[in-house]
Chain A
């Protein structure tokens, strides 16, 4: 039965298939396979134990969310067929019937309740921050309540992957992590740590079996080795192609290079406190709007793009990309404050800082593409308007604890921020809302920015269950922020992939490479 269906999907003549024995059949169906070179091995296969990229990529092969986030950041049904708002804070999700986990268990509302319950107690509790309660109405209906009207709950749920209650309870956390069971398009065959992860197609997948029968992920940390593995044919696709290998790979018509602007906005947050920790002056000069404007105008993002990023970055217009709620059509930092050192010098003089000042910039040296070179360039650019930038570089393992709010050691911080959920509000509420006013707001407001108007608008955005209203309020926030300049957005990194020409792959905006969308041509 299984073989017949596979044959039918392959488009082979049904009559011909009947003549063949089932053993001969399995040999005839040409199994399509793909090997992908990732930058690192997955750390966990339990989606509630961690969240780095390689693990995330694997999660979406093995598990499904209730709401599916598509490659272009649009949202559609996943394990939930449909959902509706019954009142401002209550969402009802109708679940798909007849979906089976890899162990044969049927997917039911109790699995959703179990997943959310476990999530709340896990390291990843943050993913469920906007869920206050949940319960199963019947076997295929789940009710989820938010603490306040929250228009983008479905976006959040796209990051919550559904576990099998029975399996996780019986197997225990450790086994559930090493031998995951989900409803996803692929099943785990074998995970040899740091060597490979082999997956095979889940033939019973609710949306139809994947085009590729097997997928292998290999962690190859060293960029040059990753390119070599592609060129020797050991892998079919590689993630994060080295910038210096782009021309080499392009020159060979057996391969193609794919690029996609990432969602990661590299930003400079500016301390807004009256006295700043690393500035040896009684008053923090950066409180003056003219100084902040001078800083934006002194930074030449074009030069950073050309000289440091080899053209592989997209300058940021705003704090969130065009696909997100809160994006204000037509507004751009680059048009409002174009690169202009003379104007910047004048502004500095007007503010009373013609002789400049000295300030420390905290940044990573192993987290963002060329982060060290970028801050060195910033130092020389800001040096032109006599802002003497001292660089305080550190590895990411130290950085995120160091700059953590209350950020009492930092004046200027370069870091990256991405919002894969597509909702600018989630960034605005944690980064720009006044600190310590409301639980869950302003906890990464590293510059201590505070504007009652912004707070009020975010409150309004978080008080409506209508997406277009939320969008409108957030756009108003964007307008104020762009005038206030609490942070200087610099650029989005470019995600680079290389693949054999016969691999039909389109990069996803969120970097979560998904083999279900990939095909290999003969």
Chain B
């Protein structure tokens, strides 16, 4: 546990150093916030206000010492605490990702089990062919098509935005309103598609592998029902890689749902990241990527715990 915690600190430290170094190559953020025809004196004043008048090293030192006091720095552009900007947008993203992962899992696992257990049936082949579309169709195209058909053509679902939200435990959530759901469906489906295809293919591959094992034959011989064989003996043993991919995808969607968020004007964090990159808003980028690294570390830890539940032979060190 302690070793993991130290590893995490190291990861976060490295991320912050890399972002600091990288951002020093992407142009001077001061020109993103002041009028172009500002005089040298006005530019100096702006630099001072933003804390950019210090050397890169001392800027990093200030960042670190503030960090230890729980201050993650302020956005150059918004002039607000960077962490607040991210946390304010995080519920919207989390909500969409959870729904998308839900859709993906509920559809992908049964289909993957079916296709893996009956690899030669026509239905399995069509499932596999369809999953190729899921992997290869770009999200922005899928999103635009969904908007075109369901919003513009059939006027059935709204094209963009988050709809009505209500506050639950201080978080602004839309999954508790019908209007919120109607706004949620299209972006969640768009986001789910690629993950669905990947999980489906991994499940199938795992199942095909497992179904050849002796213990499956033995289970059949002892007369266990087909359903029991598939899910209790088969799926359980095929799940390890599925859980791994699930964790990675989850982290990926939380951090980088940028394209889907932009297309559906979804007020989430991905859009904040891309805007901040365009604006050279280093404080937001640093905190964002550190938070992302943190989320990945946590998810990986949870994945390891899930391993032990699936396979008691594995232990978490």
**Residues of A near any B CB (own CB < 8 A):** 40, 43-44, 46, 49-51, 121-127, 129, 173-174, 177-178, 192-196, 218-222, 224-225, 228-229, 231-234, 366, 395-402, 404, 426, 430, 439-440, 443-444
Contact = CB atoms under 8 A, between A and B. Distances in A.
Contacts of B35: 51, 124, 126-127
B160 A225 contact: yes
A168 to B, nearest CB: 14
29 contacts: A46-B79, A50-B77, A123-B49, A124-B35, A126-B35, A126-B37, A126-B38, A126-B39, A127-B35, A129-B39, A177-B79, A192-B172, A196-B161, A221-B262, A224-B144, A225-B159, A225-B264, A228-B151, A231-B151, A232-B152, A232-B159, A233-B155, A234-B158, A396-B32, A401-B27, A404-B31, A439-B39, A440-B39, A443-B37
Nearest to B37: A430
B209 interface: no
B147 A395 contact: no
Contact of A397 (B36, B78, B152, B279): B279
B148 interface: yes
Given A122-B49, A225-B147, A228-B147, 15 more contacts: A124-B34, A126-B34, A173-B79, A194-B272, A221-B265, A221-B271, A228-B159, A231-B152, A232-B151, A232-B152, A396-B278, A397-B29, A398-B26, A400-B27, A401-B27
- Most B CB contacts (10 A, CB to CB) among A124, A218, A225 go to A225
A267 B248 CA distance: 48
Given A43-B77, A50-B77, A228-B151, A222 B263 contact: yes
Given A123-B46, A177-B79, A234 B152 contact: no
Contact of A220 (B46, B172, B265): B265
B89 interface: yes
Contacts of A222: 262-263, 265
Contacts of A430: 37
- Most B CB contacts (10 A, CB to CB) among A194, A233, A401 go to A194
Contacts of A444: 36-37
Nearest to A401: B28
A400 B31 contact: yes
A183 B151 CA distance: 39
Given A218-B265, A228-B159, A232-B151, A397 B278 contact: yes
A232 B155 contact: yes
Contacts of A173: 79
Contacts of B271: 194, 221
Contact of B36 (A194, A400, A439, A440): A400
A430 B38 CA distance: 9
Nearest to B274: A221
A402 B27 contact: yes
Contacts of B311: none
A43 B76 CA distance: 11
A443 to B, nearest CB: 5
Contacts of B165: 192
A40 B275 CA distance: 10
A430 B34 CA distance: 15
B153 to A, nearest CB: 10
A220 to B, nearest CB: 4
B160 A195 contact: no
- Most A CB contacts (10 A, CB to CB) among B36, B265, B272 go to B265
A400 B27 CA distance: 8
A229 B85 CA distance: 26
Nearest to A122: B49
B206 interface: no
B5 interface: no
Nearest to B30: A401
B201 interface: no
Contacts of A396: 32, 278
B106 interface: no
A124 B275 CA distance: 21
Contacts of A398: 26-27
A194 B160 contact: no
A222 B264 CA distance: 8
A177 B80 CA distance: 9
B139 interface: no
B27 A397 contact: yes
In the A-B complex, the 4 residue pairs with the smallest Cβ-Cβ separation, listed nearest first, are A194-B267, A398-B27, A401-B28, A195-B267
B41 interface: yes
Contacts of A177: 79-80
B45 interface: yes
A228 B27 contact: no
Contacts of B283: none
B264 to A, nearest CB: 7
A194 B36 CA distance: 26
A125 B152 contact: no
B265 A225 contact: yes
Interface in B166-189: 172
Contact of B161 (A125, A178, A234, A400): A234
A123 B31 contact: no
B71 interface: no
Nearest to B45: A125
Given A218-B161, A225-B263, A49 B79 contact: yes
A219 B36 contact: no
Contacts of B159: 225, 228-229, 232, 234
B79 A44 contact: yes
A418 to B, nearest CB: 10
Nearest to B28: A401
Interface string B262-305: 11110110011001011110000000000000000000000000
B33 interface: yes
Contacts of B53: none
A442 B161 CA distance: 45
Interface in B2-53: 26-42, 45-46, 49-50
A404 B43 CA distance: 12
Given A123-B34, A221-B271, A225-B263, A395 B278 contact: yes
B204 interface: no
A400 B33 CA distance: 11
B78 A43 contact: yes
A397 B26 contact: yes
A51 B37 CA distance: 13
Given A129-B39, A234-B160, A193 B267 contact: yes
A123 B33 contact: yes
